[in-house]
């Protein structure tokens, strides 16, 4: 079973790999173009890390007592 930090690292590393493929002039143009096409819809490292923070915040809110006030 993978841990959340391992999944996060894998997603970030996969994006880095696609970037390197898209820039590698030794590869066929079709491969570079496909890597660029995939990157258009692939999350950035910032996107992935922000999603993790949002998820953690959601978990924290779910553990608050029922009907607790979030306004101080």
Where residue 7 falls among pLDDT bands split at 50, 70, 90?
confident
- Each domain of the chain, given as residue ranges in start order, spans 4-50
- Predicted pLDDT of residue 32: 98
Specify the pLDDT at position 5.
Answer: 83
Up-side HSE of residue 64: CA atoms within 13 Å toward CB? Answer: 10
pLDDT digits (tens, 9 = 90+) for 17-68: 999 999 999 999 999 999 999 999 999 999 988 988 888 887 766 555 555 5
Return the number of other C-beta atoms located less than 10 Å from residue 59's C-beta: 9
């Amino acid at each position: 079973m993978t841990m959340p930090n391992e999944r996060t690292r894998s997603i970030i590393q996969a994006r880095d790999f696609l970037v390197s493929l898209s820039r590698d002039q030794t590869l066929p143009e079709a491969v570079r173009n496909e890597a660029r096409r995939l990157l258009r819809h692939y999350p950035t490292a910032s996107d992935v890390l922000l999603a993790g923070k949002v998820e953690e915040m959601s978990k924290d809110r779910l553990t608050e007592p029922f009907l607790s006030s979030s306004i101080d």
